[in-house]
C-alpha cells in the first residue's frame, strides 16, 4: 500500500473517532480536510500552533476546510488538554495513522536551531498558563516520546492529497496563512517538457 503522503496520492475513506464529539469522515465528502499530526497531549509547541488555528478557525471554515488534529497520546490524556478546541482531536496512541502517513519521530525535532525560539516561546507561554491554572502541564514522560515531528495534509473530498508537508523540526508546519493560500490558489499548471 502506498503511503498517502505526497500530492496526487489518495487517502482511503475512514471514520475517525475524536476524543469528544461525533466521528469524522476523512476525507469529508463536502469539504477539504486539513489533517494535522501533532505530538503529545499538552505539548507546549503544539499548543502554541493550535492557538493560532483556534484564533482563525472561523476563517478556515469559511474557506471550506475542516480541521482534524491527531496526537500520539491516549484519549484520556488528550481530553484534559483539548476540551476548548473547536475541531476534531484524534487520539492515536499506537501511532497507526502516523505510520500510514509516514509521520516519524526524529531527534532533530528538538535539536534544530530553527526550533529553539518557538520552543522557548511555547514553554514560556505554557508555563505562564499552567501557573495561572488555565492549562494542565504535559506528562513528565509523554506517551510516544518527545521527538515527534509535525505533518500537514490537505485532502480533497475525493480523497486525493492536494498538498502535504512533513516537518523538519518541532515547529515546522503550515501557518494559517499558508493553509489559506493553498486552499485559494489554483493548482500549478502542468509543465511542458522540452
- CATH fold for domain 14-179: Glutaredoxin (3.40.30)
**C-alpha 65, offset from chain centre:** 13
- For 19-41, the pLDDT digits (tens) are 999 999 999 999 999 999 998 77
pLDDT tops 70 at residue 97: yes
pLDDT tops 50 at residue 42: yes
What integer is the mean pLDDT of 67-80? 91
Write down the pLDDT at residue 8. Answer: 85
Among candidate residues 146, 152, 166, the one with its CA nearest the CA of residue 50: 152
Helix, strand, or coil here: 130? helix
Helix, strand, or coil here: 102? coil
Q: What angle do CA 96, 24, 59 make, to 5 degrees?
A: 110
- For 144-187, the pLDDT digits (tens) are 656 778 999 999 999 999 999 998 887 889 999 999 999 987 65
Element (H, E) at 35: strand 32-37
Write down the pLDDT at residue 66. Answer: 97
Write down the pLDDT at residue 17. Answer: 95
Note the pTM of the prediction, 2 decimals: 0.81
Q: Which residue has the higher pLDDT, 122 or 156?
A: 156
Given the C-alpha cell 502542468, which residue does it identify? 190
Amino acid at each position: 500500500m502506498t503511503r498517502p503522503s505526497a500530492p496526487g496520492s489518495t487517502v482511503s475513506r475512514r471514520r475517525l473517532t475524536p476524543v469528544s464529539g461525533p466521528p469524522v469522515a476523512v476525507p469529508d465528502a463536502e469539504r477539504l480536510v486539513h489533517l494535522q499530526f501533532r505530538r503529545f497531549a499538552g505539548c507546549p509547541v503544539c499548543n502554541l500552533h493550535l492557538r493560532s488555528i483556534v484564533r482563525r478557525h472561523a476563517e478556515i471554515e469559511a474557506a471550506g476546510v475542516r480541521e482534524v488534529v491527531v496526537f500520539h497520546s491516549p484519549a484520556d490524556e488528550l481530553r484534559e488538554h483539548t476540551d476548548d478546541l473547536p475541531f476534531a482531536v484524534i487520539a492515536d496512541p499506537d501511532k497507526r495513522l502516523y505510520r500510514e502517513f509516514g509521520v516519524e519521530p526524529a531527534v532533530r525535532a528538538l535539536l534544530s536551531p530553527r526550533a529553539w525560539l518557538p520552543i522557548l516561546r511555547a514553554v514560556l507561554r505554557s508555563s505562564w498558563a499552567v501557573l495561572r491554572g488555565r492549562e494542565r502541564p504535559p506528562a513528565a514522560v509523554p506517551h510516544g516520546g518527545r521527538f515527534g515531528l509535525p505533518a500537514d495534509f490537505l485532502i480533497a473530498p475525493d480523497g486525493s492529497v492536494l498538498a502535504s508537508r512533513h516537518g523538519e523540526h518541532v515547529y515546522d508546519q503550515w501557518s494559517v496563512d499558508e493553509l489559506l493560500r493553498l486552499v485559494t490558489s489554483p493548482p500549478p499548471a502542468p509543465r511542458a517538457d522540452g
